[in-house]
Structure 1
Amino acid sequence: MKKGNVVFQIVFVKLLIVVSLLLGVHTTFAKEIKNDTSPKVLNPGSLYLQIKDPQDRLFFNALARPDGKDMVYHIKGKAYAYVPGDIYKSKLNHGAALFGIEGYNIRKAVQIEGTNDVIVLTREIVFYTDLKTGEILEKWTNPITGKTYPVSHIENDHVNFHYRVEDGKLKTVINNGNREIGAFPIAAPESLGDLLVYHADAFPLYNLNERYNINDSMNLKNETYTSAEFFDFLVSDKYVNQMKGNQIPKGSVPFTNSWTRVSPWTPWMGLDENEYAGNLTFHARSEVLDGFDDLPEWIKEEVKENYPLYTSSLDSIDSSPNATSWTSFYESVLKPINKTWKEWLKLYP
């Protein structure tokens, strides 16, 4: 990893890395477990009780349930076109809503046996939806080129994160490959009235070839994904007192979240960053649910029928880099047909 990327990760932690969870902070923070891709894991409850600061304990509940069961972040919002200079005029106006998004991240925390390390194991699936009907989009017509492409939804298996309980504090662990950079304390939340706000301002940066061995730039400049993401996690301050004592909480704490992301056009939109200036701007809200069964019926039915893997979180630790929309598109669309992104475009003249 380049020095600049290491500096970015440290700065990001100091700003408070909350979850990657939610769609899309694509930087990998999960530790690569040396010589064992699936170490034995335990319920995280005993480690949770070692955390002394109630606000740190509350943050743990933003990450996952201390009882080790699945927890869900249900997310819903829209994606808009960000067009510098409004250069596409009537074809695609700056600020035009393009499609809705709705889905979830499902997660649980585990302790690595023999350590004070906690891994948050997550999968996430998010559907692009029709703005008028709310139904899942199967295809989408690009207003700039007039071409129609099949929609590839967000299927990220996995997105994992690494934490440690040390001297009674919950810390975020950052690694450079197999070398640990350090474990950093969680920053205190801000108080707004009777709310506590944990926040993170992130600027993900990764090279497809260097991190994922994908020798295809797809629609990205310099084979490199660059974006900006802004998270606010809100919870009533009354829950701080509930974090005290020697009891492991049952169920989830009702965190809510606001998320904004500015990113490249998704690969299935058929727009090359080198040719078509602009970005997607996502703005969405999410809420914590106890588990998969609490999701809207249409999501549960769709996932059970077509994406059963996402009915639960992972059962073991996968030390490979976290999945992203681009790696998912490569694995599910390009790799099976042995095509590059530019060759795939030619299938839809």
Structure 2
Amino acid sequence: MDKFNLSRRESLGLAALATGLAAVPAVAGAHNKKSGVDFITKIDFKDPKWNRDVYARLDADIDPTKEKCGWIKGKAMGVRPNEKVRTLFGVEGFSFVRVKKLEDGSYRRMLREIVFYTDLETGEILTEWDNPYSNETVKVVPIANDPFNFTISEFLPEGPSYGGLNKDLRERKPFLQDWEYGPNGTMILNTGIDLMYPNALQPSKWVRESAGVMNRVSEHFIYVVEQKDVENPELTHIPHIGSWSRVTPWLPWMLMGTAEGQINYFTHFQTIPEGVAGLPAHLVKAARAMDEKWLSAPTEDYGPSLSSLEHYAREQTPAPVPAGWEPPKAPEAPAGFPPRKS
């Protein structure tokens, strides 16, 4: 299988479900020390410490001498009232992550990620894009987050603060995740977060970039793994494939202002064991042209951890506002729609 040309079925995480591999019995000992890192291997969905350890092994490699590379690819759709969902551009990128184990058994994960927008036909990385909603050519700004760090502990992460903008932090609860057993010796994890917080791009200043005073963002992930890997005391990282979806306001560089609508991302992802050598060459070349740092994980913890929206507010400048400019309008509803109630 060409790992950079996954079929629809494979990209949804179903390839692992068709392996036909039987699940192996649970490891007798609850903890592993063979790798020099102590972690729980005996599956227990109701144990916050097991959830902590297995999630850290998914998200990263808990051997602090190693870094994990992840690759992501998919598409971004535009959603407006009174018209079909429109596929706008491709999405492709990668991340590097490293963890440090803390004294209380938690893991501090330290990550850099970069995601490019691509032409739907050629796959080439876009530097400009013809916005079909506004009939304007705009400059494309990739996602480039350095860092995006948080602590993986036996308690549910309180949620990203985005430089203090997000005050709606989750209460302290045990870290219990949505796991289930799949067919053919697999396990499936569903996880995500739904947020509503003040926009770093306030419309009073960022007239053309801002979708409004608040950001409504949702991100959801599906991981598919093999049970035998979860229980393997030799694996400090658990190989996986999965999907990532995101609902977010119009991207600021689209210059849509407060126009009705949103962007939906639909992507698949997987671990790249070879690191840089296993990534598509065009991604590596583009990232290296920006900065060599994108090709490795942080070795120290620093911050703040911001999303692409906050980075945009710090790194870009507001676009000029032409006289008489208005946000692009969605089409009018067809006559007689919605139907009147009798």
- Provide structure 1 residue ranges, at least 5 long, that are not aligned to the other structure: 1-44, 87-93, 165-169, 335-340
- Provide structure 2 residue ranges, at least 5 long, that are not aligned to the other structure: 1-34, 45-49, 326-342
| Alpha-carbon spacing, 1:150–1:222, altered in 2? closer, same or farther (3 Å) | closer
Q: Who is 1:279 aligned against?
A: 262
| Alpha-carbon spacing, 1:259–1:188, altered in 2? closer, same or farther (3 Å) | closer
Q: Deviation of residue 213 (structure 1)?
A: 10
Contact 2:202 2:213 in 1 (8 A): no
Which residue among 55, 59, 79 is the counterpart of 1:63? 59
Q: Who is 2:228 aligned against?
A: 238
| Alpha-carbon spacing, 1:100–1:158, altered in 2? closer, same or farther (3 Å) | same
Contact 1:208 1:217 in 2 (8 A): no
Under a length normalisation based on structure 2, what TM-score does the superposition of the two structures give?
0.71
Contact 1:196 1:234 in 2 (8 A): yes
Q: Distance in 2 between matches of 1:129 and 1:230?
A: 22
Q: Who is 2:296 aligned against?
A: 312
Contact 1:233 1:258 in 2 (8 A): yes
Aligned partner letter, 1:155: A
Answer yes or no: is 1:195 the counterpart of 2:195: no
| Alpha-carbon spacing, 1:222–1:150, altered in 2? closer, same or farther (3 Å) | closer
Structure 1 residues 115-161: Cα deviation after superposition (integer angstroms, max 9, x where no partner): 43321101110000000110000101111221111100111111111
Structure 1 residues 16-43: Cα deviation after superposition (integer angstroms, max 9, x where no partner): xxxxxxxxxxxxxxxxxxxxxxxxxxxx
Q: Distance in 2 between matches of 1:333 and 1:319?
A: 19
Answer yes or no: is 1:133 the counterpart of 2:117: no
Under a length normalisation based on structure 1, what TM-score does the superposition of the two structures give?
0.70
Q: Who is 2:90 aligned against?
A: 100
Q: Distance in 2 between matches of 1:107 and 1:305?
A: 20
Which structure dedicates a bigger proportion of its chain to helix? 1
Which residue among 322, 325, 332 is the counterpart of 2:308? 325
| Alpha-carbon spacing, 1:51–1:344, altered in 2? closer, same or farther (3 Å) | farther
SS in 1 for 2:311: helix
Q: Distance in 2 between matches of 1:288 and 1:213?
A: 37
Q: Distance in 2 between matches of 1:214 and 1:54?
A: 49
Contact 2:272 2:279 in 1 (8 A): yes
Contact 1:106 1:292 in 2 (8 A): no
Q: Who is 2:105 aligned against?
A: 116
Contact 1:107 1:120 in 2 (8 A): yes
Q: How does 1:13-28 map to 2 (within 5 A)?
A: none
Structure 1 residues 49-76: Cα deviation after superposition (integer angstroms, max 9, x where no partner): 1536446343221111021211112000
Structure 1 residues 228-276: Cα deviation after superposition (integer angstroms, max 9, x where no partner): 2221011112213314xxx5x36x4321111111211100001012xx2
Contact 1:71 1:292 in 2 (8 A): no
Q: How does 1:173-322 map to 2 (within 5 A)?
A: 173-174=157-158, 182=172, 184-187=174-177, 189-193=179-183, 194-209=185-200, 216=205, 219-243=209-233, 247=234, 249=235, 252-273=237-258, 276-290=259-273, 291-320=275-304, 322=305
Aligned partner letter, 1:195: T
Q: Deviation of residue 183 (structure 1)?
A: 5.5
| Alpha-carbon spacing, 1:79–1:221, altered in 2? closer, same or farther (3 Å) | closer
Contact 1:71 1:107 in 2 (8 A): yes
Aligned partner letter, 1:242: N
Q: Distance in 1 between matches of 2:210 and 2:54?
A: 38
Deviates more, 1:216-225 or 1:231-240: 216-225
The two structures, once aligned, show a CA RMSD in angstroms of 3.0
Q: How does 1:132-151 map to 2 (within 5 A)?
A: 132-151=121-140
| Alpha-carbon spacing, 1:214–1:317, altered in 2? closer, same or farther (3 Å) | farther
SS in 2 for 1:317: coil
* Greater than 6 Å deviation, 4+ residue runs: 175-180, 212-215
SS in 1 for 2:229: helix
SS in 2 for 1:239: helix
Aligned partner letter, 2:198: N
Return the index of the structure with the highest Cα Rg: 2
SS in 1 for 2:172: strand
Contact 1:103 1:299 in 2 (8 A): yes
Q: Distance in 2 between matches of 1:346 and 1:324?
A: 28
SS in 1 for 2:123: coil
| Alpha-carbon spacing, 1:147–1:214, altered in 2? closer, same or farther (3 Å) | closer
Q: Who is 1:11 aligned against?
A: none
